[in-house]
Chains A and B, each alone.
Chain A
Amino acid sequence: MTGTARFSWKAFWRGTAGVVALMVIWETFARSGIFSAALAPPLASIAISLWRMLLDGTMPQHALYTLGRVVLGIALSCTIAIPLGMLMGRVRAVERFFLPPVSVLMPIPSLAWVPLFILWFGIGNTATILVVIYAATFPMVYNVWTGVRSVNPLWLRAAAAMGANRRALFRKVVLPAALPFVITGLRLSFGRAWIAVVGGELLASPVWGLGKVIFDAKEFLNADVMIAALIVIGAVGLLCERVVFQALEHATVARWGMVAAAKR
């Protein structure tokens, strides 16, 4: 148990050493001539293309398109998944009807559907967003369903004994109690959607998007652009995970005392 991670200069320098070591390995690898410079560009040219694409605004625009697809896809999947998960948790017949198809569809990777979606809806946005929806829906359904079922029965009985009707019971007890699971579901959905959107953009080739940058750069052997796009993908993913979701958790469930502030 390390407790709250305290900042230590020793850890900082060692971490820096790790990153620097990685960069040195890359640089020697890039300059060794095993691969030509087009395939394994030195760090400087990666930095230059990243900087150039950030400045002329193409990279931010690609990133915005990718993020927009993820946000739209998750929002649409929530409108399906949250009501379905709640109904599955509360109504026995719904659970019995939907659980078998959900457990059959869940282990099918969303990207397996891409070629089919392309045939049905053409290449471009629709297919990509549908893949995101497919990827995001199942973790959400699963978590909401689990959340609603794991509401403390004591709370339900207490509220019922104090005369709560069905609607009040649902709105005041079940919904807040299930919320930590909903947020976990959202987090998982984002992780899945982030992978799916990159895959979708690689395969379904819409006009804009970070996956599209990588795919186009491959055609012209621009490995520096590919790596620049990889860095942006990682940075945006990390930012969403760390900033958006932790803020969300703090603003909702942690403040309401539903979880022990998520960390020790």
Chain B
Amino acid sequence: MKALKTLGASALWLAAPFVVAAIVWELIARFGSFPPKLFPSLVTVADTFWKLATAGLLWVAAEATLFRLVFGFLLAAVVGVGVGIAMGRYQWAEDVCLPVVSMAYPIPGLAYAPLFVLWFGLGDLPAILLVAVASCFVVIINTWKGVKAVKPIWIRAAESMGARDRQLFRLVILPASLPYILTGLRLGLAQAWRILVAVEMLMSVNRGLGWMIFGAQEFLNTDVMLSSIAVIGFLGVLLEKQVFERLERYTLVRWGMMAA
């Protein structure tokens, strides 16, 4: 009984801010100075959301967005981890790449968007490439730091026990730098996610959540825009909770590299 009560209380706490926000929104929508087309009531938004969801449009858009996210991020992960490991392991690679990487790192990936449009046209290819470019630098930098941070004594111990280069890499360096690499991948995926929506707006891809928002702007369909933003928020929370936290649990904690 008591457990039920605390459960009810925490559900109430969870719902409270959203209920308050909904009431404020509704008051502005009904009595504020915005025209209803620009500031629709929540009933309209919910209705539109339901229509879009049942017609399948939201899922098609979400699927296209996730497809780009996955491909762009995979490209960034492969290139980023590869370059980062090379930079961490070989001094010459570090010397050659570090100036280039640290010059490119602070340029927001989105600023390349118009250039990529000129080069590759509109559509999926430049969007995926841009997402990859935008998210690979943070992966490179973290991987590099991780490989550099492997305790030299572990390497020497493994070497004195006769580990060959490949074994050294697979059994010592890779596990030891994994927390950093995973941090880099996590940051890279977050970066890709933040940029992808805007990329879709600028590249006018033929479907996608960002494009849906941008297209709805032309027709003043604020309710469609808010529905897409809701899906974006939902996917964002899902990525954070399901992908990252799970990844961390399965690898780091199990291998004892980090406390649970």
Residues of A within 8 A of B (CB): 1-2, 10-11, 14-19, 21-22, 35, 39-40, 96-98, 100-101, 103-116, 118-120, 192, 194-195, 198-199, 202-203, 210-211, 214-215, 217-218, 221, 223, 226-227, 229-230, 233-234, 237-238, 241
Contact = CB atoms under 8 A, between A and B. Distances in A.
A115 B194 contact: no
Given A116-B225, A120-B39, A203-B201, A233 B118 contact: no
Interface-centre pick from B95, B152, B213, B240 (highest chain A CB count, 10 A): B95
Contacts of A218: 114-115, 117-118
Interface in B101-148: 102-104, 106-115, 117-119, 148
Contacts of B228: 112
B155 to A, nearest CB: 12
B13 A116 contact: no
B201 A114 contact: yes
Contacts of B195: 109, 111, 195, 199
B108 A109 contact: no
A32 to B, nearest CB: 13
Interface string B233-248: 1011101100000000
A241 B229 contact: no
B99 A15 contact: yes
Chain B interface extent, by class: 35 or more
Contact of B115 (A17, A211, A227): A227
A115 B198 contact: no
Given A114-B198, A202-B110, A234-B106, A101 B21 contact: yes
A14 B198 contact: no
Contacts of B113: 202
Interface of B: 13-14, 16-18, 21, 34, 38-39, 92, 94-100, 102-104, 106-115, 117-119, 148-149, 152, 193-198, 201-202, 209-210, 213-214, 216-217, 220, 222, 225-226, 228-229, 232-233, 235-237, 239-240
Nearest to A239: B106
Contacts of B119: 35, 39-40
A115 B201 contact: yes
B115 A223 contact: yes
A199 B108 contact: yes
A62 B39 CA distance: 33
Given A14-B92, A14-B96, A97-B17, A221 B198 contact: no
